[in-house]
Amino acid sequence: MSDPTAGLDGLPRFVIDRSSPVPLYFQVAQHLENAIDSGAVPTGTLFQNEVDLAASLGLSRPTMRRAMQHLVDKGLVVRRRGIGTRVVKPKLHRPLELTSLNDDLNRAGRKPTTEVLSFKRVEAADEVADRLEIPEGTPVLELIRLRRADGEPIAKLINFLPERLANFSEEDLAEHGLYDLIRGQGIALHSATQTLGARNATAAESRMLDEPKGAALITAQRVTYDDHGMAVEFGTHIYASSRYTFEVQLFT
């Protein structure tokens, strides 16, 4: 009776707001997610079966299933036929999202600052044109930035944007992340492909990033695409490996 991995009866009372524009499955998923994150439903807990859960909330089973699937996609629970739905370790959460270095640093409690080293129109050279899928020689905006965290240099960021997205100033760029400025123009970011590698720093790079001569740098090349599959940004970045690492979450 006092099974430590019992039902969900102890959950804070919860009623669905059918007049809300928020989808029912999402209301349920969010409620369960909060319950898990807050510790009210500890790791290892076995949920009530989805049929009963749906009935007790006054929902159909498909709607309840959709809420559950949402939690599965987030890595919060694991479902097994014949067994049930179990809450997994809280640290497994959160797949990698499309975030900017700026956001990452802010979230980590570091104070990011940006120095804009270059902000000008250039003609797209070979690789830039290729990655952005535009003709060679097309005008693009070239941005070179030095990103610091708490005053320490972290990364040198070189980015190229199609001219149609160049509706912001150098001052905007110093204060906002590039992604924010792109989103601010009504562009919905969809995905990005990033290649991570490493190479030795040149003398100039060592000085700029305050690293020893020939230090190992992390290199990243990234192309970001919008909802329509159009490339919106191409960047080649180097990171001071003594002060920055990449966290990646992988799921089955």
Partner DNA sequence: TAGTGGTCTAGACCACCGA
Partner DNA sequence: CGGTGGTCTAGACCACTAA
Cα angle 248-193-172, degrees, rounded to a multiple of 5: 95
Stretch of 48-56, 93-101, 146-154, 202-210 lying at the interface with a copy of itself (CB under 8 A) = 93-101
**Phi and psi at residue 93, to the nearest 5°:** -60, -175
Q: Which of 5, 49, 60, 191 binds a copy of itself (CB under 8 A)?
A: 191
Stretch of 19-27, 84-92, 113-121, 165-173 lying at the interface with a copy of itself (CB under 8 A) = 84-92
What residue 214 binds from a copy of itself, DNA, none (CB within 5 to 8 A, per partner kind)? a copy of itself
209 to 53, 59, 116, 178, 198: CA distances (angstroms) = 55, 56, 15, 20, 15
| Cβ pair 218, 208 in contact under 8 A | no
Q: Which of 25, 168, 234, 244 binds DNA (CB under 7 A)?
A: 25
Site for a copy of itself in 127-186 (CB under 8 A): none
| Cβ pair 5, 46 in contact under 8 A | yes
22 to 27, 57, 152, 192, 237: CA distances (angstroms) = 7, 16, 43, 28, 39
- Is 3 a binding residue for a copy of itself by CB under 8 A? The answer is no
Site for DNA in 81-100 (CB under 7 A): 81-85
| 159: nearest Cα among 175, 140, 186, 138 | 140
- Is 215 a binding residue for a copy of itself by CB under 8 A? The answer is yes
Nearer to a copy of itself, 20 or 99 (CB): 99
How far apart are the C-alpha atoms of 128 and 135, rounded to whole Å? 10
Cα angle 50-54-57, degrees, rounded to a multiple of 5: 140
Q: Which of 12, 81, 108, 251 binds a copy of itself (CB under 8 A)?
A: 251
Q: Which of 217, 233, 235, 237 binds a copy of itself (CB under 8 A)?
A: 217
- Is 196 a binding residue for a copy of itself by CB under 8 A? The answer is yes
| Cβ pair 153, 209 in contact under 8 A | yes
How crowded is the C-beta side of 77, counted as CA atoms within 13 Å? 27
- Is 249 a binding residue for a copy of itself by CB under 8 A? The answer is yes
Site for DNA in 36-75 (CB under 7 A): 47-52, 58-63, 65-66, 68
Residues that bind DNA (CB under 7 A): 21, 23-26, 47-52, 58-63, 65-66, 68, 79-85
Query: Residue numbers of the site for a copy of itself (CB under 8 A)?
Result: 43-44, 62, 73, 75, 78, 80, 86-89, 91-92, 96-98, 188-200, 214-218, 225, 227-229, 241, 244-252
